Every structure is written in structure tokens, then in C-alpha cells.
Amino acid sequence: MTDLDTFITGLPKAELHLHIEGSLEPELMFELAGRNGVEIPFASVEEVRAAYAFSNLQDFLDIYYAGANVLRTRQDFHDLAAAYFARAAADGVVHAEIMFDPQTHTDRGIAFAEVIEGLLSAMAEAEAKHGMTSKLILSFLRHLPEEAAFEVLAMAEPWLDRIEAVGLDSSEVGHPPVKFAQVFEAARAKGLKLTAHAGEEGPPEYVYQALDVLHVDRIDHGNRALEAPVLVDRLAEMGMTLTVCPLSNLKLCVVDDLANHPIDRMLALGLKATVNSDDPAYFGGYIGDNFKAVAKARGLDREEIVQLARNSFTGSFLPPDAIATHLEKIETYVAAHA
Ligand code: ADE
Ligand code: ZN
């Protein structure tokens, strides 16, 4: 570990873009398959890892949805999230806003209650065990119709006080934000915050739609906004947070090489970029690995790294007083490591 790596690990940070189903490590996949009597098309953990070579988002999604098939019970969802929180805590994460894809499970006959109660119990445990706070983001699968998103929003009704936001994920191209205009409007009317994947593979137009049609509070990814200078200026001016995921971008071929990753260009353009892991079990690393890999590949300096950590709190859905406390802790940490 370099000095910079050690600095990164201890730096207090929030993770804002994490799909809990994407934190399913092959070892746990095998354990849950055994526990639940589910067949998986792999003979070993090594075989699973070897299958994780993707040439685009859809390649990945096919294997990600197949992997989620081992998740059956409340205990499974608890164990999945508990493993993520332990890993994130070791990387200096003190607050996590985690996405879950209820439709991936309810469409297989798993009750919404099993999914969310397992996640909520792990969240309470993470607070007690690691002092880590967390929030839930219910993500709609955009390859499915908007009516299906309305159905999952209705299922979530008894838990709305424990859900912070809705999100929009899955196959981007061909499923523009405008397809979900009404359900996002309904979610907003219920007091939920809004976020959407936009500009990962989709064009800048999808980022415009996320802003102008969905009225999102945050953009997940946003890489392709860089193709439109007017859009970049607007995102910078409004202080819109982008939840950027360097190792995901590399594995899904959004960038050809981490050496060409735009994270520092985003900061230089005044964009409120953050660093996140997306689907760490599939993309080769958790948030600390993402920070370290992109810092090395792009030669980021401490100030850039600290700015990314600050952005993770100012871009979070935490209340202003909690954000201020976290920002103070960053400054204390930086002063102690000068
Ligand atoms: N679901 C899980 N990870 C995703 C990603 N990177 N993009 C879209 N949908 C996803
Ligand atoms: Zn994502």
C-alpha cells in the first residue's frame, strides 16, 4: 500500500451508488445456493469469477440477474447486506445509500417484505456494529414497463418511511427516463428523493430527460454528459451530484482504459463527482479499490481525493447537520494527516 492508499482507506466517505445485489460475492452465492437448494450454472467460485468478463452493460446484467436467483429469504438479504457493510466499513465508509431492485425478486415470487426486512435488519446491525448510517433507494428496472414500476411502488407503501429515494437502473439504451415520468412524479409526491442512471451507455439526451422530465436529485454515472458542454455547464451550475463508478466504467467498457477515466476532468469542470463501486462483486473492487485504482491511473492528488470525499457527503440525502458533521470530520482527518 502506498501512503496515498493508506490515506484513502482512512478518509471518511459515503457510498452513494451501490446495488446491493451487485455485492453478492461468488462465495456467498455458493453458500446461499446450498442453503436454498438452488442450482447454479457454475462448478466453482473460480468458474464464476472467470465468467465476469463483459463487453457492455447488458452482458453484465444477464449474469447479475442470474446470480440474484440464489437470494430467497429474509436471512439471505440480511447476510448479503451485512457482508457489504463490513467490507465498506473497512474502506472508511461511514454512510451508505444502497439501491435494491425489488422486481428482480418479486418477479420470482419472493415477497417484498422478505427483501426489505432482511435489508433493514442488516442496516440496523451496521449502525450498531460499525457506526455506519445507511439509507435505501428502491430502484425500478427500466427494461420493464412503467406500470410494473407503479406496482412495486404500491408494494413498498407500508415501508415508505424507511425508503429514502427511488432510482432507475438496468438496460439504459432504448429505455429513456421519459418512459418513467409518471411514476417518478408519483414517487416525488410521496416525499421520496429521486435518482436515475443516465449517461452510462445512454446519450446526453437521457441526462437532459433525467433533469427536465424526472427532476432527479442525483444522476447515477453521467459520464456521457461530458459530450455536451452546455449540459456540463448546467450540471456544474446546479451542483448536481454525479455518482461515478470507475471500475464499473472499465469493466463495462464505458472507458477503454482507467488511464482515460474522466474523474479529474469532471472535477476540473466543476462537476460534483463522487467515487462509488456500483456492483463491487462483479467489477473487481469495493469503494476503496475504486478510489485507489483511479487515483493511480489518473495521478490524482490528495486535494482531488478529499474533494471527492466531500462531494460524497454534500451529494448524500443526509440532513444538513449530519453533512456538516461529516465534513468537519474530513477536515480533522486531513489536518491530522498533513
Ligand atoms: N444494475 C446494476 N448495476 C447497474 C449499472 N451499472 N447500470 C445499470 N443498471 C445496473
Ligand atoms: Zn449502477
CATH number for the domain that contains residue 50 = 3.20.20.140
- Give me the residues paired with residue 198 across strands: 221
Are 185 and 156 in contact, with CB atoms under 8 Å apart? no
Compute, in angstroms, the gap from residue 264 CA to the centroid of ligand 2.
20
Residue 144's SS3 state is coil
Measuring CA to CA, which residue among 330, 326, 337 is closest to residue 132? 326
Are 283 and 254 in contact, with CB atoms under 8 Å apart? no
Are 326 and 93 in contact, with CB atoms under 8 Å apart? no
Compute, in angstroms, the gap from residue 176 CA to the centroid of ligand 1.
14
Choose the residue to mutate in 172, 175, 224, 278 for probing ligand 1, maximizing ligand atoms within 8 Å of C-beta: 278
The C-alpha angle with vertex 321 and arms to 319 and 326, in degrees rounded to 5, equals 95
The ligand minimizing its distance to the Cα of 276 is 2
Q: How far apart are CA 244 and CA 272, in angstroms?
A: 10
Are 177 and 213 in contact, with CB atoms under 8 Å apart? yes
Q: Tell me, what DSSP letter sits at residue 68?
A: G
Number of Cβ within a 10 Å radius of residue 130 = 18
Q: Is 17 labelled as part of a ligand binding site?
A: yes
CA atoms within 13 A on the CB side of 338: 4
Residue 191's SS3 state is coil
Q: Tell me, what DSSP letter sits at residue 14?
A: E
Active-site position among 15, 172, 200, 201: 200
Are 102 and 156 in contact, with CB atoms under 8 Å apart? yes
466517505: which residue's cell?
13
**Per-residue cell: 198:** 443516465
Phi and psi torsions of 228, nearest 5°: -125, 95
Are 273 and 262 in contact, with CB atoms under 8 Å apart? no
Compute, in angstroms, the gap from residue 197 CA to the centroid of ligand 1.
8
Chunk the chain into consecutive blocks of 10 residues (it has 338) and report each block's average pLDDT, rounded to whole numbers. 95 99 98 96 94 96 96 98 98 99 98 98 98 99 98 98 99 98 99 98 98 98 98 98 98 98 98 99 98 98 98 98 98 96
Contact residues of ligand 1, CB 6 A cut-off = 19, 22, 57, 64, 169-170, 197, 200, 248, 278-279
Q: Is 278 labelled as part of a ligand binding site?
A: yes
Compute, in angstroms, the gap from residue 329 CA to the centroid of ligand 2.
28
Closest ligand 1 atom, residue 252 Cα: 6
Q: How far apart are CA 146 and CA 175, in angstroms?
A: 10
Residue 111's SS3 state is coil
**Closest residue to atom 1 of ligand 1, CA basis:** 170
pLDDT at 1: 84
Q: Tell me, what DSSP letter sits at residue 278?
A: B
pTM of the predicted model as reported, rounded to 2 decimal places: 0.98
Neighbours of ion ligand 2 (CB under 5 A): 278
State the residue range of the domain holding 197. 3-336
Q: How far apart are CA 194 and CA 213, in angstroms?
A: 12
Question: For the chain, what is the domain count?
Answer: 1
**Per-residue cell: 75:** 436471512
pLDDT at 145: 98
